[in-house]
Structure 1
Amino acid sequence: MTWLQQNNTEDRPMMRFFTVPFLALLLSGCGSMSSMNPIDWFADEDNSEPPAELVEIENAVATRVLWTASVSGGSDEQRVKLVPYVNDGKVYVASRKGEVRVLDASTGRAVWSVDTDLEISGGPGAGEGLVLIGTSNGEVVALDVASGSEKWRARVSSEVLSVPRAAQGVVVVHTIDGKLFGIDAATGSQKWLYDRSTPVLTLHGSSSPVIIGNRVICGFASGKLVMLNLANGDLLWEISVTAPSGRSELERMVDIDGEPLVVGDVVYVTTYQGEMAAISIDTGVVLWRRKLSSYAGMGADFSQLYVSDDTDHVLAVDPGNGAALWKNQKLQYRKLTAPVELTGTVMVGDFEGYLHQLSREDGRLMGRIRIAKSAISTPPIVKDGVAYIYADSGEIAAVTISDR
């Protein structure tokens, strides 16, 4: 499910189900940090489509679970941006209830664990010797990467529904009200602020910033993609991936909610109800666009891009011109994660805790395994031939794939 947020001065929770895809509409005040209790209501109820039923398949690949672990509460069934971070033989995970845990990537054993007693809504990110989390109360908290002890806290303007990133002495965080903060990694003091106006109605989430050398790229709810100087926040370029169109605020939504994908000197990005585009990192020039609506994000391998669209069709796309190479429609409306490539297969998680493997050559279903009884909303994180899966209920699994 994807939350939508209306930015006005009232807190009026609301949830709506659409024919494409199955969306939750959350109306709240701009930057509100209060708990929401959505109310269900329906549009075009007679035309709504159920998620595709899974049919029995013969697994052409073997998915091996190396280990499993858990973190207290997981995302607590709330739409927050909790994404594992994998680096240097460790897996960093956080839970909505405030736990931050570091696991050995080869065994799943805990290296350290701390209870921050915070409502964590984004992260963990890492860099500059820090583990970084964002909260619903508008804070960024830095923990020591070796011990988990708190180094500093920084106040930001609103809830953090993205993953904080750090490099070259700067922590970058994107808040739900459309601001991008540059924070001193050593002290937690603000170094710079980039502020974008936020549309009246937006998806309830934020694109996470991507740091490339001394530059940072981030997408916004307005459909704009920007590149800034990491050190001082100066704007290097800005482009509209998709211009809003339509008469209603709902029709004009063109959020960039998924993380921009950088491959070489090109950044690829998708918008909701808009387009997918390839942009030159050096110049900000749009190299190509194609009509495609997505909020889940993308994956890539050495020759193809992979994307889950807003109807949960999985596509392979030519990175050179945006042409579709294949499309799989058999997982329609199963609330898929962004696809990732692992050992010649394209992997996606779904709302029932299943992990699906598709052929990278033609998109046919090759395998399926159930990792958890709760949804997998976070894309698998692939590192050194292993995929790390984080389910909403807090289960974590490390898996590999091989031919039968």
Structure 2
Amino acid sequence: MQLCKILLPGLLSMVFLSSCSLFNRDEGAATVSPLPKITNQFTLTKIWSVSVGSGTNDYYSYLRPTWQGSSLFAADRKGLVKAINLDTGKEIWQKNLSEKTTFTMKNRSAMLSGGLTVKGNNLYVGSEKAIVYALHTDDGRVLWETPVAGEALSHPVVSDGLVLIHTSNGMLQALDEENGAIKWMLNLGMPLLSLRGESAPSTAFGAAIIGGDNGRISAVTMKQGQLIWQQPIAKVAGASEIDRLNDVDTPPVVVDNIVYAVAYNSNLTALDLRSGQILWQQEIGSVNDFIVDNSRIYLVDQNDRVVALKAEGGLNLWSQNDLLHRNLTAPVIYSDDYLVVGDSKGYLHWINKSDGRFVAQQQVDSSGFLSAPIIADNKLIIQAKNGTVYAFARIGGQKTEI
């Protein structure tokens, strides 16, 4: 059984359906931090915004855009996929992957999930209906669609001619990049209770490195799908079942033959890429993607602390605690100097990488953010839960009081 992480961190809702719906409720044990008051050090300029269907609305989904060249690709959960000019926000094409029902002739949601991936002329996206699609980047026509072993909650990863999909039942599958044929599949194991979400694999030296709902990191050969090594990084502890959840739902990061991975309710861990041996561990948990950059690790933990640590040894460098329980997105680095996170109230927060101080803040969309921003050609792109995609750039110099 999977648990769905809902808007208030630390609270989870049991789910018996194929998808998780978010809902309003009284805020209980966790207190949402008030909006910090800051002086903006620069102005955030909206270049354009465009609506892409109805977004994810009240569903827990990490569906987010991707880009290549001058084109941005975005989708909504129901199945609308759009290609957008990155500079102007003008629509290039759209494709609807939803299906009309026989009797009502209304479109049935395609339930897209996990995020878009683009490589060459192919755009890939998976669905909660256990289908992976490949679309042509020029016009959106469907090149192939392949049923997979379970809900495709993670974004597809393309490497070595394969499209890798980690499904909700713990299966890692490799599809042929050109025709979608299943080349191999591997069962990574599945506990009785887990968070809703799956780790996308990272690839290095002909291997796929992936986290599992059982708290383990696995290295798998790309060609045959054979297990190279497997290492548990989480310690099961706590009085309740929820306390003992130890899923690895974020993609591991591989830098200089070291694998960095983080588990919910547990540890940030560095492992040797070749052997899987644990090099060090730091007690910090997260379900958000994290960044390894210039010998530093940046992450948002499960209580919405934004943290910087040394990549060697995991020593804490700074912690920004003024956004607790605001349901932050994963961070992204902008202009080399700043971390940017969104929150469930629709604010963007810009944080100095060197010391964790706030440098800018702006409310963008009242529906809020769940999926992380991306950086595309020096523009910050983020999709709100209602489907609106925004493109921002920064104007330096002036200070604006908020």
TM-score by length of 1: 0.89
* 1:267 matched to 2:259: yes
What is the CA deviation profile of residues 4-23 of structure 1, one whole-angstrom value per residue up to 9, with x for unaligned ones? Answer: 825xxxxxxx99898xx342
Distance 2:235 2:159 in 1: 32
AA aligned to 2:2 is: Q
- In structure 1, stretches of 5+ residues that fail to align are 7-13
Alignment match of 2:392 (pick from 378, 384, 399): 399
Distance 2:24 2:96 in 1: 34
1:131-280 → structure 2 map (5 Å cutoff):
131-212=123-204, 214-280=206-272
Distance 1:295 1:259 in 2: 10
Alignment match of 2:281 (pick from 264, 271, 289): 289
Alignment match of 1:390 (pick from 373, 378, 383): 383
Distance 2:6 2:133 in 1: 33
What is the CA deviation profile of residues 66-105 of structure 1, one whole-angstrom value per residue up to 9, with x for unaligned ones? Answer: 2222210111221123021122232111110101111222
What is the CA-CA distance between 1:146 and the residue it aligns to? 2.0
Structure 1 residues 51, 369: CA separation in 2 closer, same or farther (over 3 Å shift)?
same
What is the CA deviation profile of residues 15-63 of structure 1, one whole-angstrom value per residue up to 9, with x for unaligned ones? Answer: 9898xx34232232xxx53x566788999x4xx1321111332101332
- Shifted more, 324-333 versus 87-96: the winner is 87-96
Tell me what 2:107 maps to.
Answer: none
* 1:5 matched to 2:2: yes
Kept in 2: contact 1:5–1:25 (CA 8 A): no
What is the CA-CA distance between 1:128 and the residue it aligns to? 5.3
Structure 1 residues 128, 285: CA separation in 2 closer, same or farther (over 3 Å shift)?
farther
Tell me what 2:340 maps to.
Answer: 347
Kept in 2: contact 1:165–1:172 (CA 8 A): yes
SS of equivalent to 1:392: coil
AA aligned to 2:172 is: L
Between the two proteins, the alignment pairs up a number of residues equal to 385
TM-score by length of 2: 0.89
Tell me what 1:366 maps to.
Answer: 359
Tell me what 1:112 maps to.
Answer: 93
Structure 1 residues 25, 145: CA separation in 2 closer, same or farther (over 3 Å shift)?
same
What is the CA-CA distance between 1:348 and the residue it aligns to? 0.6
Distance 1:225 1:381 in 2: 26
AA aligned to 1:92 is: F
Structure 1 residues 15, 98: CA separation in 2 closer, same or farther (over 3 Å shift)?
closer
* 1:60 matched to 2:52: no
AA aligned to 2:376 is: K
SS of equivalent to 1:81: coil
* 1:92 matched to 2:73: yes
Kept in 1: contact 2:6–2:22 (CA 8 A): no
Kept in 2: contact 1:275–1:292 (CA 8 A): yes
What is the CA-CA distance between 1:369 and the residue it aligns to? 1.2
Tell me what 1:312 maps to.
Answer: 304
Structure 1 residues 41, 382: CA separation in 2 closer, same or farther (over 3 Å shift)?
closer
Kept in 2: contact 1:15–1:40 (CA 8 A): no
Kept in 2: contact 1:129–1:144 (CA 8 A): yes
Tell me what 2:60 maps to.
Answer: 79
Kept in 2: contact 1:15–1:26 (CA 8 A): no
Kept in 2: contact 1:17–1:25 (CA 8 A): no
Kept in 2: contact 1:229–1:235 (CA 8 A): yes
AA aligned to 2:13 is: L
AA aligned to 1:210 is: S
Kept in 2: contact 1:122–1:134 (CA 8 A): yes
Tell me what 1:26 maps to.
Answer: 14
What is the CA-CA distance between 1:267 and the residue it aligns to? 2.5
Distance 2:375 2:6 in 1: 34
Distance 1:163 1:127 in 2: 13
What is the CA-CA distance between 1:325 and the residue it aligns to? 0.3
SS of equivalent to 1:82: coil
Structure 1 residues 212, 144: CA separation in 2 closer, same or farther (over 3 Å shift)?
farther
Structure 1 residues 156, 280: CA separation in 2 closer, same or farther (over 3 Å shift)?
same
Kept in 1: contact 2:291–2:332 (CA 8 A): yes
Tell me what 1:10 maps to.
Answer: none
Percent identity reads 28
Distance 1:37 1:189 in 2: 32
What is the CA-CA distance between 1:270 and the residue it aligns to? 1.2
SS of equivalent to 1:362: coil
What is the CA-CA distance between 1:213 and the residue it aligns to? 5.0
Distance 1:302 1:281 in 2: 19
* Structure 1 residue runs of 4 or more that deviate by more than 4 Å after TM superposition: 14-18, 35-43
Kept in 2: contact 1:57–1:367 (CA 8 A): yes
SS of equivalent to 1:80: coil
Kept in 2: contact 1:335–1:351 (CA 8 A): yes
Structure 1 residues 109, 267: CA separation in 2 closer, same or farther (over 3 Å shift)?
farther
What is the CA-CA distance between 1:247 and the residue it aligns to? 4.9
AA aligned to 1:71 is: V
AA aligned to 1:89 is: S
- In structure 2, stretches of 5+ residues that fail to align are 99-109, 398-402
Tell me what 1:336 maps to.
Answer: 328
AA aligned to 2:49 is: T
AA aligned to 1:27 is: V
AA aligned to 1:337 is: T
